[in-house]
Amino acid sequence: MAILVRPHLLAALAPTFLGCLLLLQVAAGAGTPEKAFNLTWISTDFKTILEWQPKPTNYTYTVQISDSSRNWKYKCISTTDTECDLTNEIVKDVNWTYEAKVLSVPRRDSIHGNEDLLVIHGKEPPFTNAPNFLPYQDTKLGQPIIEQFKQDGTKLRVRVKDPFTLVQKNGTFLTLRQVFGNDLGYILTYRKGSSTGRKRNTTNTNEFLIDVEERVSHCFFVQAVIFSRKINQRSPESITVCTEQWKSTMGETLIIVGAVVFLVTIFIILLSISLCKRRKSRAGQKRKSAPLRLA
């Protein structure tokens, strides 16, 4: 037997039904973590951070990274940040390709010193894989520093400082040169101080010795380069410095001019003294030869 429901009763119950349905949806959605996205490696001279989005609201993040033994390690456990410093892991073997993922964990099931709690109802929390990361190829090069330079006549000598990295061997931090060896080089870009035309010189050591014009100021900067790379090959440019040869040239010119002025001044003084003596001598001779007047 069909049950008849009056239209006005349906209209009265409709708001209550929709409200209950909305509450059920909100309750189901509460505590549901959102997957991380835009996972990006930020790495310079092996200092490496994994970043992602979005900022969590009712959940936390935990990062997993594989090591060279293909074991997974937990890092930045139950964090509300959207980044994780993984430097200590990736510097252990810079030639290993690392895998990482960011897990989104509801707060009620967050880890508090117990990694087993990551398994929620027999399942792993939602996660997003990061792009694979090979430190030797993917870390960017920092801005190089010109340690010293000198222009001597037609020769310009430039030395670049090797920065230290966080890669260690036997408890000692290694320089960029010690990590990359002859795969690391430097590019010197230089020009005459009054010119816009540029020249380049490349070396796989830390020193340049190039031919330049004598008594002319030269300005230059350097860039680090990893010869084996196809991407992230070059570093940013160093600060541009100049030899300022014009100052030394001007100084030499001033010294020469000053010496000439000094000699001319001495000559003029001696000449003036000589002329004065001659005048006095002539005046004395005139007095002696003059006739005496009778009173």
CATH number of the structural domain spanning residue 205: 2.60.40.10
End-of-domain residue from the set 209, 226, 247: 247
pLDDT score for 289: 60
Both 134 and 38 in a single domain? yes
7 membership: H or E segment, kind and range: helix 7-29
- d(Cα 88, Cα 173) in Å, to the nearest integer? 12
Q: Does 37 share its domain with 132?
A: yes
Mean pLDDT of the chain: 80
Q: What are the tokens at 8?
A: 């006005």
CA neighbor of 61 nearest in space, from 34, 29, 90: 34
149 occurs within a structural domain: yes
Q: Is residue 161 part of a domain?
A: yes
Cα–Cα distance, 164 to 176 (Å, whole number): 6
Task: Answer whether residue 5 shows pLDDT above 60.
Answer: no
Please indicate, yes or no, whether residues 124 and 188 belong to a single structural domain of this protein: no
Note whether 156 and 243 are same-domain residues: yes
Q: Are 159 and 207 in contact (CB under 8 A)?
A: yes
Q: Is the pLDDT of residue 248 over 50?
A: no
Q: What is the pLDDT of residue 124?
A: 76
With b for 16 or more beta-carbon neighbours within 10 A and e for fewer, the 41-65 pattern comes to bebebbbbebbbeeebeebbbbbbb
Q: Is residue 201 included in any domain, yes or no? A: yes
Bigger pLDDT: 185 or 26? 185
Confidence check: pLDDT of 1 > 90: no
Range of weakest confidence among 73-82, 203-212, 233-242, 280-289? 280-289
**Comparing 19-28, 46-55, 167-176, 248-257, which segment has the lowest mean pLDDT?**
19-28
Counting the structural domains of the chain, the total is 2
**What's the rounded Cα separation, in Å, for the pair 131 and 187?**
30
Percentage of the residues of the chain whose pLDDT score is greater than 70: 73
User: Are 92 and 184 found together in one domain?
Assistant: no
- Residue holding tokens 């929390």? 125
Residue 106 has pLDDT above 80, yes or no: yes
Same domain, 156 and 122: no
Would 77 be classed as within a structural domain? Answer: yes
pTM (whole model) above 0.85: no
Domain stop point among 119, 138, 157: 138
Average pLDDT rounded to a whole number, residues 74-99: 96
**Range of 197's domain?**
145-247
Residue 10 lies in a domain: no
Give the pLDDT mean for 221-242. Answer: 95
Give yes or no for residue 28 having a pLDDT over 50.
no
Contact 100, 63 (CB under 8 A): yes
Does a structural domain hold residue 2? no
Together in a domain, 130 and 164: no
* Domain C-terminal end among 138, 165, 189: 138
Query: First CA to last CA across the chain, in angstroms?
Result: 179
Question: Given pLDDT bands bounded at 50, 70 and 90, which one contains residue 140?
Answer: very high
189, 175 in Cβ contact below 8 A?
Answer: no
Indicate whether 226 and 173 sit together in one domain.
Answer: yes
Angle at 98 between CA 226 and CA 66, to 5 degrees: 155
In this structure, is residue 204 part of a structural domain?
yes
